[in-house]
């Protein structure tokens, strides 16, 4: 009797008319000593159980790639007695270390604001900042400053009209990962939209990890800070002595 009820419930659920199937050219990125960035090709297709619907508008695709989210302290500087000093500070509760948004059309035309709010797709919605001090009335400016700084560093990317959609079935784009990546798990999300509404979504992970010398130094600095400090001091002394010896040799 229970099995019959479950079966009837499943039959009553609406079948998704369009479903996104996506893939990546690579899901692992290795950061080495000479790492200067990487490019990931993103591609996919739309699986359908019925003919292409036409009454709700053309099919659009939105793709996001997000790095690990961590708290960020944003400070404001002001000139006091001729010196630039920190005056105010706001801690952004959670901000992705990297965030890219690629779309098949203008963002505000292919995605309704309510859908952006629900899925947190835009850069502004991907950032969580709710704990500003009561003494700071313009806390939103700190979030805007963070976005502006990271866009200048190519860590936040907005790429409208860069997803190529073919016959409302196939799509592809690419995302450039800069050299200053943060290690961790990156989340790639895919959204199909019609008439500004999200009709299906899919997500997968990209693993970014330091390897070789970069990994050794990172592990040593975080897990053995005393040894790392002594080793750094020894290298600095050796480098200084070596430079001094070369200089004396050249003068003699």
Same structural domain, 134 and 93: yes
pLDDT tens profile 52-78: 777 678 999 999 999 999 888 887 776
How many alpha carbons fall within 13 Å on the CB side of residue 65? Answer: 29
d(CA 130, CA 127): 10
Is 8 contained in some domain? Answer: no
Same structural domain, 136 and 159: yes
What Rg, from alpha-carbon coordinates, does the chain have? 25
Same structural domain, 58 and 101: yes
pLDDT tens profile 125-145: 999 876 666 666 676 788 888
User: In this structure, what CATH number is given to the domain that contains residue 101?
Assistant: 2.60.40.3880
Same structural domain, 181 and 252: no
Q: Enumerate residue ranges in the chain where pLDDT < 50.
A: 1-15
- The reported pTM is 0.75
Domain that holds residue 162: 19-210
* Dihedral sign for Cα atoms in the order 196, 200, 201, 202: negative
């Amino acid at each position: 009797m229970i099995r019959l009820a479950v079966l009837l419930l499943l039959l009553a659920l609406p079948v998704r008319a369009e479903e996104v199937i996506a893939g990546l050219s690579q899901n692992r990125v290795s950061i080495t000593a000479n790492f200067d960035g990487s490019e990931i090709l993103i591609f996919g297709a739309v699986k359908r159980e019925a003919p292409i619907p036409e009454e709700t508008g053309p099919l659009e695709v939105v793709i996001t790639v997000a790095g690990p989210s961590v708290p960020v302290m944003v400070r404001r500087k002001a000139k006091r007695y001729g010196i630039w000093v920190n005056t105010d500070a706001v801690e952004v509760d959670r901000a992705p270390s990297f965030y890219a948004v690629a779309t098949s059309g203008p963002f505000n035309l292919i995605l309704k604001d309510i859908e952006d709010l629900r899925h947190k797709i835009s850069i502004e919605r991907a950032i969580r900042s709710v704990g500003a001090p009561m003494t700071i009335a313009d806390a939103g400016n700190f979030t805007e400053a963070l976005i502006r700084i990271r866009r200048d560093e190519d860590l936040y990317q907005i790429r409208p009209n860069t997803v190529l959609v073919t016959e409302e079935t196939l799509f592809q784009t690419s995302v450039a990962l800069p050299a200053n990546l943060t290690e961790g798990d990156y989340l790639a999300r895919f959204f199909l939209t019609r008439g500004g509404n999200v009709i299906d979504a899919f997500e997968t992970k990209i693993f970014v990890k330091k390897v070789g010398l970069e990994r050794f130094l990172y592990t040593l600095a975080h897990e053995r800070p005393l040894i790392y400090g002594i080793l750094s001091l020894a290298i600095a002394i050796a480098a200084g002595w070596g430079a001094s010896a070369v200089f004396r040799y050249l003068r003699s």
